[in-house]
Chain A
Amino acid sequence: MDFELIVMQLFSGLALGAILVMVALGLTIVFGMLGIVNFAHGALFMVGAYAGLWIASLTGSFWWALLVAPIAIGILGMGIERFLVRPLYGRSPDDPLLLTFGLGYVLVESVRITFGTDGIPFSAPEALQGVVDLGIGYFPVYRLFVMAVVALVLLLLWLALEKTRFGLIVRAGARDPLIMKVLGVDVGRLWLLVFGLGVGLTALGGVLAAPMRSVSPEMGTLVLAEAFVVTVIGGMGSLLGAVVAGLLVGVAISMTALFAPEMATIVMFSLMALILLARPQGLFGRPGLGA
């Protein structure tokens, strides 16, 4: 097996990992700040892909789909927080878990009824089709584009959280909502925005992933499992953990597919088990969080 093939597979793993990073970021932001495990997250990834498909078919532009779908699904997420999740704050942690679990089913069935059960192809725009010579081999342009978009989103997210007043409030609110209340912050509105942001990120992941696989009602199911593994490996609630673990899992799946394809699906679970044995809180998690 030559070196070029291994490097190309590594790049493929990073592209897959970039999608996982988007989904896991949304999951971990919502868990880290609201303490809610959102089981509808995979379904919202799928809804994001369908929203992108629909907008692209209306406008004829992938770019509009990429821009508008995450915002629209983010607003849907805010509606979910406001009318479904918020009444459950302060109750048993099982309640929002069960609610989002059921909501996931509702979303999948709604899409099945509306768009049918068959997968629908979603083409990347012409400018992003084809391959590019990286010097060591040819690599799909679209996958490089996905990696660049995710890197840009991560940079913007980091700047927003670390360098702005909103980011300061979010970081403090995640650690101590009570003190933010007595310092005049409407924590309910903050959670609304955070939930919308988390859902918008997974919807962006859905739109980005759509040209790499066909759009189908089930596309969120595997992604949800992968995103949970990424979140657990990275540490529940840790943004840095979601990024590192997302790329790690993407590369692990991709490299295993090269050497032992039949093991590709279970490698991430083995990785998770190994890391949890060494660090029960995950790579970057805080001990006790999520217990």
Chain B
Amino acid sequence: MAMLEVENLDAWYGASHVVHHLSFSVEPGEIVALVGRNGAGKTSTLRAVMGLMPKATGSVRFEGKSLLPLGAHERFRLGLGYVPEERRIVSGLTVRENLQLGLVAAGRTDERAAIDEIAKSFPRLKERLGQQGTTMSGGEQQMLAIARAIISRPKMVLLDEPSEGIMPVLVEEMGVLFRRLRDQGTTLLLVEQNVEWALKLASRAIIIDQGELVHASSAAALLADKDIQDRYCAV
């Protein structure tokens, strides 16, 4: 059984119909790249899966359970993590407090151990636990947003443009982290503008254009097919 099954998903912002009859699935333990041009509907798709769109219809199932009737907080409790495009580090809170936010609803009582454990994967954060989260660099904030999403050990993480505006060295670090997460059994659905990087990480790729699925293949096949990349992913 697929971990995530999306069938005939439609989503709207007010009167604007941004996702059209979208169907795809994600298997347990794989990384799937969701790519396409700016405004293609990638972020809206992730938001619809996470329960953040004002209106969405069709079917979204996570481990067989229907998600659409559930609120975002209930989807989190089923094991879905989400890293939004804007990072959304909470101002006025330290790095440690931002990490604690990832644990409050997860029911883990070993808070200190969980933060120590996550800090091993994010040494830059470990040095800054007492610092205000929003005073860190963009790359460090992105790392914090990812750490906050995975500290509760979700089964699947939805990542929206994690490499955007990040120094190349940090992007490489992020790639290593995502592979390690996959190897540990975490499933990743990765929305990216950095197509080449995403395709090197992923096992499968989906292209969305104007809210519709226009291509699905192995990531390696898409990486080799420059024509399709140019047609649907070129800026």
Contact = CB atoms under 8 A, between A and B. Distances in A.
B104 interface: yes
Given A183-B76, A183-B105, A187-B73, A165 B88 contact: no
A181 B84 contact: no
Contacts of B51: 181
Interface stretch (A4-12, A68-76, A169-177, A241-249): A169-177
B17 interface: no
30 contacts: A165-B100, A165-B104, A168-B101, A168-B104, A169-B101, A171-B90, A171-B93, A172-B90, A172-B97, A172-B101, A175-B92, A178-B84, A178-B88, A179-B84, A179-B88, A180-B101, A181-B51, A181-B72, A181-B73, A182-B52, A182-B72, A182-B76, A182-B84, A183-B102, A183-B104, A183-B149, A184-B77, A184-B152, A185-B105, A186-B71
B100 A184 contact: no
A175 B90 CA distance: 7
B90 A184 contact: no
**Residue of A165, A176, A187 with most partner-chain B CB within 10 A:** A176
B77 A183 contact: no
B130 to A, nearest CB: 15
A235 B144 CA distance: 30
A162 B214 CA distance: 50
Nearest to B111: A165
Interface size class of B (residues with CB under 8 A): 20 to 34
**Residue of B73, B93, B105 with most partner-chain A CB within 10 A:** B73
B52 A185 contact: no
Contacts of B77: 184
Given A178-B52, A182-B52, A182-B76, A168 B92 contact: no
Interface in B96-151: 97, 100-102, 104-106, 148-149
Nearest to B97: A168
B173 to A, nearest CB: 23
A225 B95 CA distance: 40
A178 to B, nearest CB: 7
A239 to B, nearest CB: 12
A112 B101 CA distance: 46
Given A168-B100, A169-B104, A181 B71 contact: yes
Interface of A: 165, 168-169, 171-172, 175-176, 178-187
Interface of B: 50-52, 71-73, 76-77, 81-82, 84, 88, 90-93, 97, 100-102, 104-106, 148-149, 152
A254 to B, nearest CB: 34
A176 B100 CA distance: 15
Contacts of A172: 90, 93, 97, 101
A172 B89 CA distance: 10
Contacts of B71: 181, 186
Report the 9 A-B pairs with minimum CB-CB distance, sorted nearest first.
A184-B105, A184-B76, A181-B72, A182-B82, A179-B88, A172-B90, A184-B73, A186-B73, A181-B73
A126 to B, nearest CB: 46
Contacts of B72: 181-182
A180 B101 CA distance: 8
A187 B92 CA distance: 19
**Residue of A169, A178, A187 with most partner-chain B CB within 10 A:** A178
B189 to A, nearest CB: 14
A3 B232 CA distance: 81
B92 A183 contact: no
A168 B77 CA distance: 19
A242 B152 CA distance: 36
A186 B72 CA distance: 9
Nearest to B72: A181
A199 B148 CA distance: 33
Contacts of B88: 176, 178-179
B90 to A, nearest CB: 5
